[in-house]
Amino acid sequence: MNDKPDSPANSHPSYDKLARHFQKTSHFEHFNALGDWDQATMMPTGGAAARGEAMAELALHLHELKTAPMLAEGLAQASREPLSGEQRANLREMRYHYQQATLVPGDLVQAKTLQGYKCENAWREQRKHNDWHGFKPNLEAVIALTREEAQIRADALGIPPYDALLDKFEPGMTTAKLDANFGQLQLWLPSLIQEVTDKQAREPGVSLNGKFGVQAQQNLARELMQLLGFDFNQGRQDISSHPFCGGVPGDIRLTTRFDEADFTSALMGIIHETGHARYEQGLPQAWRGQPAGLARSMGIHESQSLFCEMQLGISPAFLAMLQPKIQRHLHYPMTQDELARLYTRVKPGLIRVDADEVTYPCHILLRFEAEKALIDGSLSVADLPDFWSQQMQRLLGINTDGNYRDGCMQDIHWTLGELGYFPSYTLGAMYAAQFRFAMEQTLGPMDELLAQGRLEALFAWLEDKIWSKGCLLTTDELMLGACGEALDGKYLERHLRQRYL
For its own copies, the binding residue among 3, 38, 406, 447 (CB under 8 A) is 38
Cα distance between residue 265 and residue 227, in whole Å: 18
**61 is annotated as contributing to ligand binding:** no
Q: Shortest approach of its own copies to residue 11 CB, angstroms?
A: 25
**272 is annotated as contributing to ligand binding:** yes
For 278, 290, 304, the CA distances from 470, given in Å and listed in that order, are 12, 10, 13
Of residues 48 through 87, those in contact with its own copies by CB under 8 A are 48-51, 53-54, 56-58
Single-letter amino acid, residue 428: G
Q: Is the Cβ of residue 25 or residue 303 nearer to its own copies in the bound state?
A: 25
Cα distance between residue 285 and residue 352, in whole Å: 36
Spell out where 338-452 has E strands: none
Q: Is the Cβ of residue 43 or residue 317 nearer to its own copies in the bound state?
A: 43
For its own copies, the binding residue among 5, 17, 36, 43 (CB under 8 A) is 43
Asked if 288 interacts with its own copies (CB under 8 A), we say yes
For its own copies, the binding residue among 2, 27, 331, 402 (CB under 8 A) is 27
Neighbours of 234 (CB within 10 A): 15
**63 is annotated as contributing to ligand binding:** no
Neighbours of 287 (CB within 10 A): 23
Cα distance between residue 319 and residue 3, in whole Å: 45
Q: Shortest approach of its own copies to residue 325 CB, angstroms?
A: 23
Q: Which residues pair with 247 in a beta bridge?
A: 252
Asked if 369 interacts with its own copies (CB under 8 A), we say no
Single-letter amino acid, residue 499: R
- Nearest Cα neighbor of 482 from 442, 435, 436, 446 is 435
The residues that are catalytic are: 273
Contact criterion met (CB below 8 Å) for 119 and 415: yes
Of residues 123 through 162, those in contact with its own copies by CB under 8 A are none
The stretch near its own copies (CB under 8 A) out of 26-34, 79-87, 113-121, 200-208 is: 26-34
Asked if 47 interacts with its own copies (CB under 8 A), we say yes
Distance from first CA to last CA of the chain, Å, rounded? 51
Q: What angle do CA 438, 440, 321 make, to 5 degrees?
A: 130
Asked if 248 interacts with its own copies (CB under 8 A), we say yes
Single-letter amino acid, residue 395: L
Contact criterion met (CB below 8 Å) for 381 and 374: yes
Asked if 2 interacts with its own copies (CB under 8 A), we say no
Asked if 21 interacts with its own copies (CB under 8 A), we say no
Asked if 31 interacts with its own copies (CB under 8 A), we say yes
Q: Shortest approach of its own copies to residue 243 CB, angstroms?
A: 18
Chain positions contacting its own copies, by CB under 8 A: 24, 27-28, 30-31, 34-35, 38, 42-51, 53-54, 56-58, 231-236, 247-251, 288-289
Binding-site residue ranges for Zn(2+): 272, 276, 302
